[in-house]
Amino acid sequence: MDANKKTLLQLMDITQLCITSNSDNDNTHKVLDRLHDVIPFSSAMLSLDHRDAFTLTSSAQVLRKNTPLSWVEAYQHLEYWHVDPVLQRIQQVNQAVSWRDCEPLAQCDNFSKGYKKHLGRDGISIQVSGDSGLSIVSLALESEKKTIRFTPYLEYLAPHIHEMFGRTGSFNRQAKSAPKLTEREKEVLAWAKEGKSNWEIATILTLSERTVKFHLSHVFRKLNVVNRSQAVAKAISLGIIEL
């Protein structure tokens, strides 16, 4: 089969998979595997956020393939999103960018040394934004030549990948970047969704009414809301509790 025709069929196959899949674990890793077949990356990261500007508040927001977890954790702990020149660039343009091209924009030596050590110097990243947040696809490649060659492929596939992570599943971008509630807080909030009073929730869960109020106050703080109705609505939108 002609190489160009084979690549076209591979791109169409990945597109169809993204269109028909939700964001569960199996489909997500299947997309990464097929993406590697058409763009032979050495490592990949899919970064998800429900906000307009990417902020890594949890390593769970990043889906990795051959990328060291230590780098993701360092990126989060040191808040490298403030100094990452690639991230700054992809937020300004509607296209994929080369890591090497962004090197002149770097202002933090520790960040530059870190990503080159863990990921290499060459790669491409692209950000796709929508009403439900944003998705960033970053692929480490072996050379600048391959970066140039595979950039159009990533630009074609990225919007389809983005849409996939807006659907239900363990890798839904809103759920991944949502505040973490304890199981008890989720239980209390779920019963609040059913219209139960604090006294009724306390009776159902065998708690004191004061304890229920305590859990709800923590939920309000974590979700940045001021009442039960707002808390329920936001928790549903973030996938923390089911409708």
Give yes or no for a contact between 98 and 149, defined as CB atoms under 8 angstroms apart.
no
The Cα-based distances of 51 to 61, 167, 202, 225 in angstroms read: 12, 16, 34, 16
156 pLDDT band (50/70/90 cuts)? very high
SS3 222: helix
**pLDDT attached to residue 168:** 80
pLDDT in tens, 181-208: 999 999 999 999 999 999 999 999 999 9
Q: Structurally, what CATH architecture does the domain formed by 183-237 represent?
A: Orthogonal Bundle (1.10)
String of b and e for 195-223 (b: at least 16 CB within 10 Å)? ebebeebbeebebeeebbeebbeebbebb
Cα 166 from Cα 18, distance rounded (Å): 11
Query: Token pair for residue 144?
Result: 């600048």
pTM above the 0.95 mark? no
Average pLDDT, rounded, for the chain: 92
CA dihedral 70, 141, 61, 133 (to 10 degrees): 150
**Chain region(s) in the chain for CATH 1.10.10.10:** 183-237
Task: Using the Cα atoms of residue 29, residue 33, residue 36 and residue 42 in order, give the sign of their dihedral.
Answer: positive
pLDDT score, position 178 = 74
Q: What is the pLDDT of residue 3?
A: 61
Residues 66-101: tens digit of each pLDDT: 999 999 999 999 999 999 999 999 999 999 999 999
- Which DSSP category does 39 fall into? S
Mention every residue, 6+ apart, whose C-beta is less than 8 A from residue 220.
226, 227, 231
At residue 243, does pLDDT exceed 80? no
pLDDT at 2: 58
Confidence of residue 58 (pLDDT cuts 50, 70, 90): confident
DSSP string covering 125-191, please?
EEEEEETTEEEEEEEE-S-HHHHHHHHHHHHHHHHHHHHHTTSSSTT-HHHHTSPPPPHHHHHHHHH
Q: What is the pLDDT of residues 116-137, one digit of tens each?
A: 999 999 999 999 998 778 999 9
Residues in the chain: 243
Is the model's pLDDT at 241 over the cut of 90? no
Region(s) of the chain under CATH 3.30.450.80: 3-174
The torsion of the CA quartet 25, 30, 35, 38, rounded to 10 degrees, works out to 170
Q: Are 38 and 14 in contact (CB under 8 A)?
A: yes
* Predicted pLDDT at 60: 85
Specify the CATH number of the domain 3-174.
3.30.450.80
d(CA 214, CA 94): 45
Cα distance between residue 101 and residue 119, in whole Å: 15
